[in-house]
Chains A and B, each alone.
Chain A
Amino acid sequence: MIPPVAGSLARFQDAFARALLAPEAEPASSVSALAAQPAFAVYRNTVMKGCIDALQANYPAVARLVGEEWFRAAAAIYVRESLPADPTLLRYGAAFPDFLARFEPAAELPYLPGVARLDRLWTEAHAAPDEKALDPAAVAALAPDALAGVIVRPHAAARWAWFEEAPIYTIWSRNRADSTPGADIDWRPEGALLARPRDTVEWRALDPAGCAFLDACAAGGTLGRAAYAALEMRADADITQLMSTLLASGAFGQLTFINRQSAEDQI
């Protein structure tokens, strides 16, 4: 069946990998005799189930919203488009939110890609490097005129997103496994902050000023620059309150001082 000549192993693997995802074996391929055996289905089923199980584990709020049957049918289509590139299946499905955004049967659920993005941010926060969250006391101890000139990096596990089109945070947080149904949802834009200040990922709603503040911090801006960005987004933003909320959420990691002149240049 397979002559033992140089390169035959690669050809075998090309044909076998194709047959795994094809509903029917290619008649002329080097593995057609294998794919015709009933037992070939064991490999087809195991590969497909492994990928779908991983997507279901990585996108629990999406799965809960659409139901297991719908989810697994959609996931099977995604798997055929995009097998895992990495055997750590926790990382599988980075493109699944984009897939849902262009997936015709999901068109009636326009909030689904946003919910998927928050599921993905949860996974990123969960597996991010360990880092001690910035102690609020370290910021409180700064002289008021020094505050605007320091740079605070977002915590390695902090993730945030603003959703202009729907109350994604409320829909998502109500569909994580351990949440309970709440009152009717107020249809408005929402943002979310996910962080891992201690052992596990925690989350809270975040307004657009907060998102702009963290975007500026992530870009390496000073606290002064971040405050400016927040006020640009919402002229009435309460920066003191925002800082205190972000600190209490564990959104910050390293604090560094830069010299006064470059701080002023930034602003």
Chain B
Amino acid sequence: MTTVPSAGLGLKPQHFDAALACPAAGLWFEVHPENYLVAGGPRLAWLEAIRARHPVSLHGVALSLAADAEPDPGHLGRLGELVNRIEPVLISEHLAWSTWRGAYHPDLLPFPRTGEALLRITDNISRTQDALRRRISIENPSHYLKIESHAWGEIDYLAELARRTGCSLLLDVNNVYVSARNLGYSTEEYIDAFPGALVAEVHLAGHSRDPNLGESLLIDSHDAPVSPEVWALYERLIRRIGPRPTLIERDDKLPDFATLFAERQRAEALMRVPLAEAA
């Protein structure tokens, strides 16, 4: 994937054997590093076996870059050890917070996009990149709440963070869809305005409707196939910016490996349509 961008799959332990055996060219896998920050044992052995056959990307959920505090040094240190051990092709995190005053909240929590927060997040991304000695990518999270104290739009904020830290961006197309639907803005306008030159990776996933509020609140649940609307947005994106490493994420209601692999093949095929033909 360092030469020709290709499609990968989020990897779960249930699919270990199938993933290890899959011979597809360019296939790469992504995991949450938090599940592998252990001293030893079968989890690490499993990840190293996958890494010996396929490129691996580390997609963090817990650095809490948007918290008004430095990343936890213990956590960052363990992440650095895993990075040295696995040598991931990509490392990414979210524009969100989760750990606050020593307590980890397992979610990607929102905050007002202010100048104050921008300074803090800039510093946190720089600290992370310095500690890992790597450039990282920052992902747009899903939004559910209307926060009126945002001083910045999300795209400008992400672009400014990239300008200040040298980080790249991870564009999650499903998050764009979920957020735009929940907060009432145009998905197409967001996708068209996203700075393509900064996009190092693209995420695709499924979402669901809130059990109580239905269509008016979409949940970034990663428990369903990628929706037709998100596929259409993805196609629109890559026709404009060209192919990028693209990941199919699935965390819940896990189908068999072949079903996920078929979604991966669809992303792969869309990336292979020549730009001229697509245009």
Give the CA-CA distance A127 to B46 in the complex, in Å: 13
Docked-complex contact A88 and B37, CB < 8 angstroms: yes
Evaluate whether A9 and B75 lie within 8 angstroms (CB atoms) in the complex, with A46-B107, A127-B38, A127-B39 already known: no
Docked-complex contact B103 and A17, CB < 8 angstroms: yes
CB of A17 to closest CB in B, whole Å: 5
Decide yes or no whether B151 CB sits under 8 A from chain A.
yes
- How many interface contacts (CB-CB < 8 Å) are there between A and B? 137
Decide yes or no whether B35 CB sits under 8 A from chain A.
yes
The contact of B106 among A5, A39, A54, A128, by CB within 8 Å, is A54
Would you give the 0/1 interface string for A73-95, flagging 1 where the beta carbon is closer than 8 Å to chain B? 00000000001111111100000
Decide yes or no whether B253 CB sits under 8 A from chain A.
no
Would you give the 0/1 interface string for A133-174, flagging 1 where the beta carbon is closer than 8 Å to chain B? 000000000000000000000001100000000000000000
| 169-209 of chain B: CB within 8 A of chain A | 182
The contact of A85 among B67, B104, B106, by CB within 8 Å, is B104
Docked-complex contact B99 and A87, CB < 8 angstroms: yes
Interface centre among A6, A17, A47, A87 (most CB of B within 10 A): A87
Give the CA-CA distance A199 to B182 in the complex, in Å: 46
Give the CA-CA distance A8 to B114 in the complex, in Å: 10
Docked-complex contact B182 and A128, CB < 8 angstroms: no
Residues on A with C-beta less than 8 A from B35 are: 88-90
In the complex, which range does the number of interface residues on chain A fall in? 35 or more
Residues on A with C-beta less than 8 A from B67 are: 13
Docked-complex contact B39 and A128, CB < 8 angstroms: yes
Residues on A with C-beta less than 8 A from B149 are: 1-4
Decide yes or no whether A34 CB sits under 8 A from chain B.
yes
Decide yes or no whether A196 CB sits under 8 A from chain B.
yes
The contact of B144 among A43, A85, A126, A129, by CB within 8 Å, is A43
The contact of B75 among A6, A47, A87, by CB within 8 Å, is A87
CB of B169 to closest CB in A, whole Å: 22
Q: Which of B115-123, B240-248, B268-276 contacts A (4 or more CB under 8 A)?
A: B115-123
Decide yes or no whether A266 CB sits under 8 A from chain B.
no
| 86-122 of chain B: CB within 8 A of chain A | 97-107, 109, 111-112, 114-117, 120
Give the CA-CA distance A8 to B112 in the complex, in Å: 10
Residues on B with C-beta less than 8 A from A39 are: 144-145, 182, 210, 213, 217
Decide yes or no whether B256 CB sits under 8 A from chain A.
no
Give the CA-CA distance A157 to B107 in the complex, in Å: 31
Residues on B with C-beta less than 8 A from A128 are: 39-41
Give the CA-CA distance A196 to B43 in the complex, in Å: 13
Residues on A with C-beta less than 8 A from B213 are: 38-39
The contact of B62 among A6, A83, A87, by CB within 8 Å, is A87
Decide yes or no whether A40 CB sits under 8 A from chain B.
yes
Docked-complex contact A43 and B41, CB < 8 angstroms: no
Decide yes or no whether A226 CB sits under 8 A from chain B.
no
Residues on A with C-beta less than 8 A from B235 are: none
CB of A143 to closest CB in B, whole Å: 33
Docked-complex contact A4 and B39, CB < 8 angstroms: no
The contact of B109 among A16, A129, A156, A196, by CB within 8 Å, is A16
Give the CA-CA distance A86 to B106 in the complex, in Å: 10
Would you give the 0/1 interface string for A25-50, flagging 1 where the beta carbon is closer than 8 Å to chain B? 00000000110011111110011001
18 A-B residue pairings within 8 Å (CB atoms): A4-B114, A7-B68, A9-B114, A13-B97, A14-B101, A17-B101, A17-B105, A38-B213, A38-B217, A39-B213, A42-B144, A43-B107, A83-B105, A84-B103, A84-B106, A87-B61, A127-B40, A157-B41
Question: Which 9 A-B residue pairs are closest in the complex by CB-CB distance?
Answer: A50-B106, A87-B62, A130-B40, A39-B144, A127-B38, A83-B103, A2-B149, A9-B68, A10-B68
A residues near B (Cβ < 8 Å) are 1-10, 12-14, 16-17, 20, 33-34, 37-43, 46-47, 50-51, 54, 83-90, 126-131, 156-157, 196, 199-200
